[in-house]
Amino acid sequence: MGLEAPPIPKQGVEDSEIYIWVQELLIEEGTQWNSPVVQYLFDSETADLIPNMRISAVAEDRLIWCLTRNGKFSMKSAYNKVFELSLGDTEISLKIPSTDITRKEFWKIETWPRVQHFWWKCLADILPTNVRLSIQCGYINRTCPLCMQHEETTVHVLFMCPFSRAVWMLIPGGPNLIAGSCDNITAIFENWLNLVKQHSLQENCLTTAMIVAWSIWTVRCEVQFENKKASPYTVATKAISFATYITKLNEKKKQKSVTEQENGLAVLPVGAMRKCDGIYGNDLRNGYRKRGNSEQAECLAFLDAVKWCAELQRTHIVLETDLKGIESFINDLQPVISWENENILLDVVDCLRKIPHWECYFVSRNCNKPADRLAKYSRRNRVTSVWFDKLPSIIENALLADDTLSPD
């Protein structure tokens, strides 16, 4: 309703504690605000805002956890809050300390979680090499267990050691990956990332490189703790086959998400009624865009579209939305929508019960050209007509070009 924080009762109201739920501020079976009570409890500014709030027909009162978007408690959000409080004013850098790599871009790299954590330790300089451990405990031997000649630093064991160099030489493109200055692990990794950005290095080569280093470390631990014998050839072969597996897995994941989307679009019946901001041309009239965030606007438009279909007693409808959260909520009741908008969608679900056959699809913005064009047209020209049989000419071509209406 436009307030930053939940409203609190005005000073001097002593019995405010008897009002716990929103329901207690409503009359007429929960359809209207009880103005005298609202004005009694809150200051005039808040009391003026409350009557403008939409009252949901079916949503029930519940407690909201303000630290998550969907209003439900999560351990993660509680942990983050406690962490934030414990830090006080200490600023957390977006970058990994002593590097130019942002945390976001690092964790976005598609590889195996274990490999990613390993690299996180390398970049944070907490990989438990013998040199690192001896800094903490003086009695630890600093020698590299693979070559038994040099001190074991992170850069040494992964790149400079004769054993690891032999591994890198057996990897396709390996010599290039470790070329140049090798005295600093951060510089090596930053260089790889830059090469990927410049398209001089393929992303799957980065995945391979990260896996090779991790494989060397794994075998180093086997030598150190289990007295196993290591061979560069075996390490290289295993690393390549694991990297190939991970790359294929990532490709499959990408393909799957594309296919899912295509399948979703293909089953749309020809001539189905399309819900969109434009065809349901009330966007401007109801001033949805002014009522807060775009998710809320979309939810309200969605609710009105469904109500309208119910009024028209349509028996078969197909609903399209370009917000994945709405689609997930409507189809699977997944709590991915912000809690402020949940009650709107609960009303949608309630209203859909009156319609015998309905389907709801997520359509990416790219595939939603007619709706997009019509919405813009409505906004610019202040058109609020409703088209029943003949479609507006401005979207005819867009509809013809729209794959969603093709029979297959």
Chain contacts with Zn ion (rule: CB under 5 A): 144, 146-147, 161
CA neighbor of 144 nearest in space, from 126, 166, 161: 161
Q: Nearer to Zn ion by C-beta: 146 or 205?
A: 146
Tell me the three state secondary structure of residue 157: helix
Q: Residue 144 or 268: which CB sits closer to Zn ion?
A: 144
Q: How far apart are CA 278 and CA 384, in angstroms?
A: 9
> How is residue 200 written in tokens?
């001089």
When the beta carbons of 156 and 275 are compared against Zn ion, the nearer one is 156
Helix intervals (H) in 89-129: 103-108, 113-123
Q: Do β-strands 357-362 and 316-321 pair in parallel, antiparallel, or remain unpaired?
A: parallel
CB of 87 to Zn ion, least distance (A): 39
Residue reference for tokens 């690299």: 119
| Length reported for the chain | 408
Provide the 3-class DSSP secondary structure of residue 19. coil
Q: Are 323 and 298 in contact (CB under 8 A)?
A: yes
To Zn ion, the closest distance from the beta carbon of 142 in angstroms equals: 11
Rounded CA separation 269/279 (Å): 17
Identity of the residue, 161 or 305, whose beta carbon is nearer to Zn ion in the bound complex: 161
Question: Closer CB to Zn ion, residue 147 or residue 355?
Answer: 147
Closest approach of Cβ 99 to Zn ion, in Å? 24
Q: Which alpha helices (DSSP H) does 31-112 contain, by range?
A: 35-41, 44-49, 75-87, 103-108
CB closer to Zn ion out of 160 and 336: 160
* Torsion on CA atoms 208, 209, 215, 221, rounded to nearest 10: -160
Q: How far is the CB of 246 from Zn ion (least distance, A)?
A: 27
DSSP bridge partners of 32: 27
Cα of 13 vs its chain's centroid, Å:
43
**For residues 144 and 309, which CB has a smaller minimum distance to Zn ion in the complex?**
144
CA–CA gap between residue 142 and residue 150 (Å, rounded):
8
* Least Å from the CB of residue 183 to Zn ion: 15
Closest contact distance (angstroms) between CB of 226 and Zn ion is: 18
CB of 144 to Zn ion, least distance (A): 3
What is the closest distance, in whole angstroms, from the C-beta atom of residue 217 to Zn ion in the complex?
Answer: 12
Of 10 and 150, which CB lies nearer to Zn ion in the complex structure? Answer: 150
Please, which residue, 182 or 193, has the CB nearer to Zn ion? 182
Minimum distance from residue 162 beta carbon to Zn ion (Å)? 7
Tally helices (H) and strands (E) across the chain: 17, 4
| Look-up of token digits 């976001």 | 104
CA distance 237 to 229: 16
